Amino acid sequence: SISGEICPVVNTVTPRAFYWPFIVWIYYDFYKYSGIDERSYDAFDTYLKRQDYFFVLATMLNSNSDQTNLVGKQQTEQDIHDNPNGPYQFNPAYFKTRFGGMQYYNAGSLSMLFVIDYDPESDKTYSFPKLTKEGEQMALTFENVIKDTKYYKSYRRNDSYVPKDILLEYGKVINLGLKGFDESKDLLRHGLFETKRNSKLADCAAYIIYLYTKYGIKSLNRDDCRVLFYDHITPSGESVVINPELATIINEWEIVVGRQYFTSGLEMIWKYMLEQLTRPITMKTWFEDVLSYSDFSWDLEQKITDVILECNYDFKQRETMIRDAAKGKNTTSSVENGIKILLSVYNRFRIRTDLGDEKAFFSYGIDSQSISMDEVFDIVDEFKNKSIKEFILFVMQQWLVEQHYITAFEKMLQNRDGFYYEIIDGFYIKKHDFGMDFQGIRMIQLMQIMKDLDML
């Protein structure tokens, strides 16, 4: 939720800029095609998938093409293997879900108002989206680049087989990196970064440009993001100087990563708890087993105040504890290490004088029956003068077993079974083990999109 607010439109499954102009053009071409009886989502899905399939095919047939984050490769690759010389028939099975490789890009097209499904002036909701003037302009700039290809002129709108040489020509023009689509890139830069509604995305882009120009950060992965955004250290070990103009967005990403660490601390304990659930037992016995099979450097009768100040770790220390738990290494320390991670996040954020409106993110989770950071702060404060054991028991019962029940039950109402345990006559029975990993960070995809748009 926080990531979506501070980094709108671009998310962890929209890593390439190309798909936005492409889908907008497909809307445009779909509307002006008189051979379609009904303007509906089902008809559009079929039309879109034909265009997407032959784009993927044309890209893969050109051996030197940019295929990074190209979606729909698996079945298309098999089609090429089965028929290396062509011609090729549209294979609707190349992608099962609606909108093919663009299923996650449609929302961005709506957010940037290239297409709309609601007209605020007339208060009218459309059964199928309509292009705006900006959307039509985007579509025309895209079409101007591909309109001279034989695929565009003779094959895009019929069910005939497409010869290999036609796709080879098409693949040299249409491309994932948007090379040659300069006007489309101009319009997309404006839609993403130069409108008031996407001002937060522009802040994220400014943060990336700052890291790129001042510290030479030319690529990002999840590990890079955590050390940069939380510890403010570059992957090469250089300390990042906080630019005052970017302080708000820097603090917001620090909170996002802090929540990830809080989640990881809980996951470390949860994974170990499930590993001890080897037979049907009561909750009381389950917790006793977890504690008795764990190793602690702490005396569990000590108060939280006795150990909390020592819970401050650098990137390597934190990541080693989390990685060991994830890989099943030194697992008997998982409970203590998980608590250490939780307390380190408390130490980082509980008393901060440099945070302004960003503090609002500490309340996130209350409305969704999740655990807010404000709740974490209050509970740790409440337990400071209680024993470490009491705090661990609270975390296991309230933030893991009970919280998991709330979340998994909500999924059951959506016909998704997310339970890791069953409860029969008061006995807990494990259904399956738990694997932990960090959530994605949108700045990785944003950086790639900025490269596609010649912003870096």
Q: Block means of pLDDT (10 residues each) for the chain, length 456 residues?
A: 95 97 96 73 92 97 94 93 96 89 93 93 90 96 98 93 97 97 98 94 98 96 97 94 96 98 98 97 98 97 97 97 95 97 97 93 91 97 98 98 94 91 97 94 98 97
Terminal alpha carbon distance of the chain? 28
Output the six-digit token pair for 234: 């570059």
Q: What was the pLDDT predicted at 22?
A: 98
Q: What was the pLDDT predicted at 100?
A: 85
Q: What was the pLDDT predicted at 38?
A: 67
Q: What was the pLDDT predicted at 384?
A: 97
